[in-house]
Amino acid sequence: MSIDFYWRIGMEGDHASLRTPRRYNRGEANGHGPGNIAPAIRGGELDGYGYIDHMAAVAKASESAGFLGGLLPSFPVTEDPWAVAAALARETTTYRFMVAFQPGFLHPVQAARMSASLQRATGGRLVYNIISGGGGPAQLWWGDKVNHDDRYARTSEFLDVLRGVWDGEPYDHDGRFFQTAGAALPPGLAGQPFPEVYFSGSSAAAVGAAGLHSDYYLSWLEPFGDLRAKFDGVRTHAEKLGRTPKFAVRIDVVARHTEEAAWAEVEKGWAFVDRAAANRAAQGDSVGAARIKGWVPETITGYRDLEVQPNVWAGFSLIRGGPAFGLVGSYEQVAQRLDELRELGVDAFILAGNPHLEEAYRVGEEVLPLLQAAPPPVRASRVQGLDNHARLLTPDHFRISPGETHDHHRIPYQRDRRRLRRERHPRRREGVPRLPRDRDRLRQRHRQLRRAGARRGDRRRAQRARALGRRPHHRARRRDLRRRGALRPRLHRLRHRLRQGVPRAPGDHLDRARAHPVAGRLRADPQEPADPLRGLAAADPVPRDPAAHRPQHRCGRVHPRRAGP
């Protein structure tokens, strides 16, 4: 069983750490204070670096760190996750985007068209995070006054209609919340892969809807015993419907080299806790939020009072909102807790940390490799299908199953691209070595010249010889002279020997070549520069045996026609 890891992409601004809440310094979400040198606003002036650029950096960082995709949350104060997913898809290669949205604010036919378009454009990288709403002021902000249980009934009907129009066949529906007549996706969009559905909710109504529609039941982190009981309830309800759900957990992480360093980071953020503001922000009818309040003591003397079990801390919501429980500890301790959750039946993790960019590298490079079932980065190749649209291929061997081992936890992007090309190419797959690229190009160029330019080269050499006042030689004549050793190749071999430190004996073949009628005329040309090797024979202080320096073949044999001194 492979484990999927997602990383949360902060949509409402990012800051340096837990100890600096509400002091955003990434993108234009930060303040306009004087002396600000962060990108986007430097000294109070916009410089063109938007927060979308920072989110793209987080997505690319988490992709290279080994995460399968990223969660794009949706709140009244955030940017629209659909638009952000479309923008970030152009910045990444195989990264999946888990778009969080509430079905009540979008008609299912329009949602189907948006989803199919995004699937077609990205090669199937869209994932649903269905949110039915937590009630309270946030729900009223949208103008939604539907009660708690009816919101989940609306979500269930929404997904029914969305699946009904997905395949392109005309679909009619007359329900309590949505109506449609003959709706269907156009042929260009119909038949795209249906996105995986992550469904969250702790109430009985939520569990009932999740059993019908979810691929993954998503929960915030809770004490492990309570989390096991929740999973058992969802599994029992889904099995009655003939379905087998998977489970995912959303977790905040503070991991450092040592446990003391991790708790020191939490202690710095604890100084900014405002209990009154946190209680006001937690108002609503969410059952999950009510469950969390039951585990948080009313009287807190210190931040360690919220450690409900080893390395499980319940104070994250008091520092910056969101889920209360998270993991705090060393890299080894956090990896051990994740392994324990995997043994409970968790199939996917959505991890987060502040700042999102740096913590994505930290968790991906220091924590994930320590897991017993640590996956390598899931890479996918985009190929052209029959309909000329990008398809997503995720071979099973790109992941690691329990019991398997690997010697590294991530592969750099370019090296992984080369590995995929090698697996697709038969010669590279068989291990046939490839020539260096420059040699490949030279050989290809030589073949082109032989096919198209032999005669043209002869004409150019003849023109060059006439310009120098020499006699242009026919190719055959020049080949005969070269065979007899009278032209340039002979001189080049001798010059090479001299450069290698082999002294030339008097009367060696260099002088004989100069005495040749053709070579002599070439040398007698007053426009040719003087030979820098002339006179080296006289300057040689030690007489040498001429027989010891006879011209040889490349294989080492003495040429029979040149055996004389």
What secondary structure letter does DSSP report for 508?
-
pLDDT of residue 145: 75
Contact yes or no for 315/302 (Cβ under 8 A): no
Instruction: Band the pLDDT of 385: cuts 50, 70, 90.
Output: very low
The token pair at 164 is 């009904």
Greater confidence (139 vs 425) lies with: 139
Q: Are residues 359 and 249 in the same domain?
A: yes
pLDDT of residue 394: 40
Bridge-partner residues for 381, per DSSP? 393
Q: Are residues 527 and 402 in the same domain?
A: no
On the question of pLDDT at 439 being above 60, the answer is yes
On the question of pLDDT at 383 being above 60, the answer is no
Name residues whose C-beta falls within 8 Å of residue 89's C-beta, 6 or more positions apart in sequence.
Answer: 95, 97, 118, 121, 122, 125
Question: Distance (Å, rounded) from C-alpha 258 to C-alpha 249?
Answer: 24
**Lowest-confidence region among 132-136, 250-254, 257-261, 452-456:** 452-456
Instruction: Band the pLDDT of 462: cuts 50, 70, 90.
Output: confident
Q: Are residues 366 and 490 in the same domain?
A: no
547 lies in some domain: no
- Helical residues (DSSP H) of 296-436, grouped into ranges: 316-320, 331-344, 356-362, 413-424, 426-429
The token pair at 514 is 């100069």
Question: Distance (Å, rounded) from C-alpha 461 to C-alpha 474?
Answer: 10
pLDDT of residue 170: 93
What secondary structure letter does DSSP report for 365?
I
Question: Distance (Å, rounded) from C-alpha 272 to C-alpha 17?
Answer: 12
Q: Report the CATH number that the domain containing residue 47 is assigned in CATH.
A: 3.20.20.30
Name residues whose C-beta falls within 8 Å of residue 36's C-beta, 6 or more positions apart in sequence.
Answer: 25, 30, 42, 43, 44
506 lies in some domain: yes
Tokens 């679909």 locate to 171
Q: Per-residue pLDDT averaged across 514-529, rounded?
A: 48
Kindly state the percentage of the chain with pLDDT values over 70.
56
Q: Are residues 514 and 418 in the same domain?
A: no
Contact yes or no for 350/4 (Cβ under 8 A): no
* Closest residue by Cα to residue 216 from 233, 235, 229: 235
Instruction: Band the pLDDT of 130: cuts 50, 70, 90.
Output: very high
287 lies in some domain: no
Q: Per-residue pLDDT averaged across 145-158, rounded?
A: 88
Give me the DSSP letters along 41-73: EETTEE-S--HHHHHHHHHHHHHHTT-SEEEE-
351 lies in some domain: yes
Backbone angles phi, psi at 6, to 5 degrees: -115, 160
Strands 307-309 and 312-313: antiparallel
pLDDT of residue 177: 92
Q: Per-residue pLDDT averaged across 231-258, rounded?
A: 92
* Closest residue by Cα to residue 349 from 59, 9, 94, 6: 6
Tokens 């039946």 locate to 345
pLDDT of residue 84: 95
Longest Cα separation, the chain? 111
Question: Distance (Å, rounded) from C-alpha 10 to C-alpha 12?
Answer: 6
Question: Distance (Å, rounded) from C-alpha 5 to C-alpha 250?
Answer: 10
What secondary structure letter does DSSP report for 24?
B
pLDDT of residue 370: 93
What secondary structure letter does DSSP report for 301?
S
Of 131-145, 387-401, 514-528, the range with the highest mean pLDDT is: 131-145
pLDDT of residue 443: 73
Strands 346-352 and 246-256: parallel
Greater confidence (487 vs 185) lies with: 185
Range of the domain at 43: 4-258+326-379+387-424
Which amino acid is located at 152 in the chain? Y
Contact yes or no for 129/99 (Cβ under 8 A): yes
Greater confidence (403 vs 327) lies with: 327
432 lies in some domain: no
On the question of pLDDT at 404 being above 90, the answer is no
Instruction: Band the pLDDT of 200: cuts 50, 70, 90.
Output: confident
Q: Per-residue pLDDT averaged across 233-243, rounded?
A: 89
pLDDT of residue 43: 57
On the question of pLDDT at 80 being above 50, the answer is yes
On the question of pLDDT at 218 being above 90, the answer is yes
Q: Are residues 34 and 122 in the same domain?
A: yes
Question: Distance (Å, rounded) from C-alpha 259 to C-alpha 262?
Answer: 5
Q: Per-residue pLDDT averaged across 114-123, rounded?
A: 95
pLDDT of residue 381: 40
Burial bucket for residue 64 (CB in 10 Å: 0-12, 13-18, 19+): buried
Tokens 């004409």 locate to 459
* Closest residue by Cα to residue 522 from 480, 468, 475: 468
Q: Are residues 70 and 213 in the same domain?
A: yes
Instruction: Band the pLDDT of 205: cuts 50, 70, 90.
Output: confident
268 lies in some domain: no
57 lies in some domain: yes
The pTM assigned to this predicted structure is 0.64
pLDDT of residue 288: 52
Greater confidence (3 vs 558) lies with: 3
Q: Which H, E and C letters describe 309-335, residue by residue? A: ECCEECCHHHHHCCCCCEEEEEHHHHH
How many residues would you count in the chain?
A: 565
Instruction: Band the pLDDT of 39: cuts 50, 70, 90.
Output: low
Q: Per-residue pLDDT averaged across 210-230, rounded?
A: 91
pLDDT of residue 564: 47
Greater confidence (429 vs 125) lies with: 125
307-344 tens-digit pLDDT: 889 999 998 888 877 788 999 999 999 999 999 999 99
The token pair at 25 is 């310094």
Q: Are residues 357 and 494 in the same domain?
A: no
Tokens 């007549």 locate to 181
343 lies in some domain: yes
Greater confidence (555 vs 239) lies with: 239
Strands 69-72 and 4-8: parallel
Question: Distance (Å, rounded) from C-alpha 368 to C-alpha 375?
Answer: 8
Q: Per-residue pLDDT averaged across 472-501, rounded?
A: 60
Question: Distance (Å, rounded) from C-alpha 364 to C-alpha 351?
Answer: 10
Q: How many domains does the chain have?
A: 2
Q: Are residues 414 and 495 in the same domain?
A: no
Instruction: Band the pLDDT of 207: cuts 50, 70, 90.
Output: confident
Name residues whose C-beta falls within 8 Å of residue 430's C-beta, 6 or more positions apart in sequence.
Answer: none
The token pair at 333 is 């301790």
Q: Are residues 215 and 347 in the same domain?
A: yes
Q: Are residues 222 and 331 in the same domain?
A: yes
Q: What average pLDDT does the structure give for the chain?
A: 74
On the question of pLDDT at 388 being above 80, the answer is no
The token pair at 158 is 């929404």
* Closest residue by Cα to residue 165 from 150, 184, 149: 184
Q: Are residues 403 and 498 in the same domain?
A: no
Q: Per-residue pLDDT averaged across 461-471, rounded?
A: 72
Q: Are residues 21 and 154 in the same domain?
A: yes
Greater confidence (100 vs 512) lies with: 100
